[in-house]
Structure 1
Amino acid sequence: MKRVEDLLLGLILICPVIQSAAVPQGHHAVDVLLPCEYVLLEPGVTGLAFKRQKVTLVLHNLTVEGEEPAEPLPDFKTPEDTEEAIFEATLNVPPLPFAERLLHVECEGEEAVCEITPLYSHFYIAHIRLPEVNIAIVAKAGAAVDTEQPLSEKSIIPMTADLLVSSGPPSLKASVTDEIKFSCEVWGDNDVQDIEWHLQKEGKGKKLNPGVDSHVSILQEKQEGQEDSSLTIQQLTVHDEGTYICAVSLGPHRLQQILQLQIKEPPRVTLSLSKDPTPTLICRTDRYYPLDVEVEWLLNGTPLTEATVVTSSHRRNSDGTYNLSSHLQVSIPPKDAPDDVYTCSVSHVASEEKIQVDFTVSASDPLILPQIIVVILLAVVFGCVVIYVKTWSTPQVDKTKKVS
């Protein structure tokens, strides 16, 4: 016997057409097969553990935009014999904007994460994760769900799915002051009771309230067979980083969509020469996030491995970003010697390439010679002052004699 995916490889890649009078004009319905895992939660030696079982998910009646192919392929036929369980879910939802992605996910070589979990009574939930969208499908089976026992490899489980929740993007990376948007959609003729947005960070959670968070806005729209909620955050700060949860309440169902926001701010690097007390280059690395930063010094393109470098600890700015400084004492090249080019090279996770700033030190460096001249002048002035003070502090002897 062959596995289901081997028997139906052509169907997985091409997705056969289904003739359906209910499909809107300009659309066509297809079957999509996805390799999935059936996940059960069971007690383990060290606590709760997940038991996983390979299964196949068939999505019947997935409506795709565009006219149907000139040569329709046959519908998916449940095999008489199989080596793994099959979930067959017939979708009763409007056309989905990401249906084309589901149709071609296997063809494009992308990895779609698919997990099916028993809920309660006759209900299962399927989670499908693509790079740009999360999908949750609540489906009802004809037989009661066993939340403890694995499925028989011969199991064929027909289901109907009247509720689908999608959200995206699953993960975002943004910089400080950027604007981002998360979306959450509920598909199907369902009476949605509520859609809420929450932020989970550092073990604490809070419900987002545009009335309290002025840079946060939530827009909700409803149309036939669909209800949308979008979360927009303007002028991002590092405090906005975390896990965002779209919580949907619909009858007995409580669904959550998990979305991640990561803040990455590249450092601003400046290099200057300090005059006092000895010539010292100061490399300031400012307003970076997160902490992962490395500073390296180079002299004429060669790393300085034996130089004395003093680097401060990470200091936190008021906006949550960080800064540090690195100090390197430099020597002045002899007269008529070539200039020395010092480089401060900074590596950070927010920048694909190293950020490098150069500073040229020469024997006639205008920043160094004035310092030497000032020191000499100060010494001369100090000497004059000392002589003056000694002269006026010595008692004067009156050498004039009185004539009687």
Structure 2
Amino acid sequence: MGDRSLLRVALCLTLHTSWMLSAATSGVPRAVDIVLPCMHVLMEDAGGRGGLGGMSFSREEVTLLIRNVTVTGEGGELDPITDYQPSKDTKTTIFQATVTSSPLPFADRLLHADCEGLDISCELSPLSPSGLLYITHIRLPEFSITMVTRTEPTNGMEEDPIGQDHLLSDKSIISMTVDLCLSSSTPSQLTPLSLDVSLNCELSGDPEGVQAEWHLQKEGKGERLFPEEGSRVTMEPGALSGRGDASLTIRAVRVQDEGTYICAVTLGEHRVHQILQLQVREPPRVTIIQTEGPELTLTCSSDCYYPLDVEFSWLLRGEQITHADPVTSSHRRNSDGTYNLSIHLRVPTPPTGALPDTYTCTVSHASLPEPITVTTSVPLPEVSSGALGYIISSLIVLITTAFMFRSRDGVREAREGGR
């Protein structure tokens, strides 16, 4: 069994024991260890190795051990827990980061991520030329964490404790402390228009002296946001005071709010950020109208949707129409940034005596779990006023003629009876 498999088994055993501990104490915070497989990334000068210049990246599998992580129990039977003990014959370097300040965000979720089979990504790399500072990015689908850690030099070494021009050659334990941690939940959000949206960005640690700012990137351009109380884009009153909350609230979302949001936090020599995606998904409003002319035309209109792409199809009595060529209008943009599109279908009038034809317009869009369907019936042809007058006149003539013949027969019978 390889180092990575052993790590995964050890991790799951640690998590199981931690779960038993948390189950033993209802609402009591306890310190545990979290073990994650991680990737150590170093940037190198490609020209220094006979290359053509530029930079290259070296990557090595390592272990990230986060110690003193606070989790909260939910009640249950007591079971002892021991700290994670690295194997003596391990071939993998261990980066041991100790949390010394406030609790690590999403600790309970992170604790069980690997054993639950969640897709987790972990990368750490030097943040400073001295090699004393490291930055670690941990990502799961529902949250993201960025940690700045400081290595603890040994043997009086003040700089380059592990080397910056090569991968780790001597497998060992690199001790670090967590200086600060920036986190966000739901890094990618989908939202319809007009709703309020919160973009989460929280700092773990002492928020004193912290400066936070938000930037929006879209369509190749970037701008800094200036949240103000009473506007659509705001931060909580007293943001970053006490609990380090720099979350951004956008009220009544518009199409123009879609983009990549960057929460940048500066604390002394540290500057870290979180990237959040906001995407607008507004479903179309679908209607059908009938227009009379030389030929009957059905128009299926899809309005007020976002993003751009939308697909139409026509059905006749539930069957796909393949013999006709619908005419589609060009995309038109509404004043609020949404789109509208129409598709026109010429249809024959059902013959006299037949049942009405039923047509269905089906619209598919990224905002819809299932297509929208709208149905209309094409009625039988109406009898024209001229034809109706001719029929009425004919009926009057027939009735009059029949009455005359009947009256004449009655007179004849009366005469014969008088004789």
TM-score by length of 1: 0.83
1:273-305 superposed Cα distances (whole Å, 9 cap, x missing partner): 012342100000111111221111111111111
Secondary structure in 1 matching 2:147: strand
Q: Is the 8 A contact 1:163 1:190 kept in 2?
A: no
**Structure 1's 13 and 323: CA in aligned 2 closer, same or farther, altered over 3 A?**
farther
2:107 and 2:279 map into 1 onto residues whose CA distance is: 28
Tell me how far 1:132 sits from its aligned partner. 2.1
Q: Identify the match of residue 131 of structure 1 among 110, 127, 141.
A: 141
- Deviation digits for residues 96-151 of structure 1 (CA, Å, limit 9, x no counterpart): 45111011112222111111111112001111112222111111112444444222
Partner of 2:64 in structure 1?
57
Change (3 A) 1:316 1:51: farther
Partners of 2:228 and 2:235 within 8 A in 1: no
Q: Distance in 2 between matches of 1:67 and 1:290?
A: 44
1:14 aligns with 2:5: no
CA–CA distance in 2 between the matches of 1:359 and 1:242? 39
SS at match of 1:109: coil
The structural deviation recorded for 1:203 is 1.4
Asked if the contact 2:264–2:271 (Cα under 8 Å) also holds between the matched residues in 1, the reply is yes
The yes-or-no answer on 1:119 pairing with 2:127 is yes
> What SS class does the counterpart of residue 246 from structure 2 fall into?
strand
- C-alpha distance in 2 between matches for 1:259 and 1:187: 18
Q: CA deviation at 1:32?
A: 0.6
Aligned alpha-carbon RMSD (Å): 2.7
Alpha-carbon deviation of 1:373? 5.9
Q: Which residue number in structure 2 is paired with residue 302 of structure 1?
A: 319
Separation in 1, partners of 2:53, 2:318: 54
Tell whether 2:101 aligns with 1:84: no
In structure 1, how many angstroms separate the alpha carbons of the residues matched to 2:105 and 2:270? 24
Q: Tell me the distance in 1 between the aligned counterparts of 2:222 and 2:274.
A: 15
What corresponds to 2:395 in structure 1? none
Q: Per-residue deviation at 1:83?
A: 2.1
Instruction: Give the structure 1 partner of residue 278 of structure 2.
Output: 261
TM-fit CA distance, 1:48? 4.9
Paired residue for 2:212, among 195, 209, 219?
195
**Stretch deviating more after TM superposition (147-156 or 198-207):** 147-156
Q: State whether residues 201 and 243 of structure 1, in contact with CA within 8 Å, keep that contact through their aligned partners in structure 2.
A: yes
1:108 counterpart letter in structure 2: E
1:193: Cα distance to partner? 3.0
Specify the SS of the correspondent of 1:227: coil
Give the secondary structure class of the aligned counterpart of 1:228. coil
What is the rounded CA distance, in whole Å, between the counterparts of 2:355 and 2:74 in structure 1? 73
Matched, 1:221 2:222: no
Q: Does 1:209 align with 2:226?
A: yes
Q: How big is the shift at 1:362?
A: 2.0
State percent identity of aligned pairs.
48
Counterparts of 1:239-254 in structure 2, within 5 Å, are 239-254=256-271
| Distance (Å, rounded) in 1 between the aligned partners of 2:107 and 2:72 | 8
Moved more, 168-177 or 140-149: 140-149
Distance 1:373 1:52 in 2: 86
- Equivalenced residues, count: 364
Q: Which residue of 1 aligns with 2:152?
A: 142
Of residues 112, 116, 127 in structure 2, which corresponds to 1:108? Answer: 116
- 1:385 aligns with none
- Preserved contact between residue 271 and residue 282 of structure 1 (Cα < 8 Å): yes
Instruction: Verify the 8 A CA contact 1:12 1:32 in the aligned structure 2.
Output: no
The CA distance in 1 between the partners of 2:296 and 2:74, in whole Å, is 74
Cα pair 1:14 1:104 within 8 Å, conserved: no
**Relative to structure 2, which stretch is displaced further, 270-279 or 174-183?**
270-279
Alignment of 1:91-102 (within 5 A): 91-102=99-110
Trace 1:270-281 onto structure 2 (pairs within 5 A): 270-281=287-298
- Please give the alpha-carbon distance, in whole angstroms, between the structure 2 residues aligned to 1:324 and 1:138: 50
Asked if the contact 1:84/1:153 (under 8 Å) is kept, the reply is no
Change (3 A) 1:106 1:285: same
Rounded to whole Å, the distance in 1 between the matches of 2:340 and 2:8 is 57
1:31 to 30, 33, 47: 33
Unpaired runs of 5+ residues, structure 1, are: 20-24, 378-404
The residue matched to 1:82 in structure 2 has which SS? coil
CA deviations on 1:50-98 (whole Å, 9 max, x unpaired) are 4322111100000111279722232112322222221110111222451
**What SS does the corresponding residue of 1:221 show, helix, strand or coil?**
coil
How many angstroms apart in 2 are the aligned matches of 1:241 and 1:278?
Answer: 43
Helix, strand or coil: the match of 2:111?
A: helix
Preserved contact between residue 4 and residue 37 of structure 2 (Cα < 8 Å):
no
Maintained 8 Å contact 2:314/2:361: yes
Question: Matched residues in 1 for 2:339 and 2:230: separation?
Answer: 24
Q: How much does 1:46 deviate?
A: 10
- Tell me if the contact between 1:85 and 1:152 (Cα under 8 Å) persists in the aligned partners: no
Cα separation, 1, equivalents of 2:332 and 2:94: 56
| Alignment match, 1:40 | 42
Residue deviations 1:223-249 (CA, integer Å, cap 9, x gap): 55x311121111111111100010001
Aligned counterpart, 1:71: 79
Which has the larger strand fraction?
Answer: 1
Which of the pair is proportionally richer in helix? 2
Q: 2: distance between equivalents of 1:109 and 1:54?
A: 19
Cα distance in 2, alignment partners of residues 298 and 27 from structure 1: 61
1:175 aligns with 2:192: yes
Cα drift, residue 214 of structure 1:
3.0
**Cα distance per residue 1:251-292 (max 9 Å; x no partner):** 111111000001111111101101234210000011111122
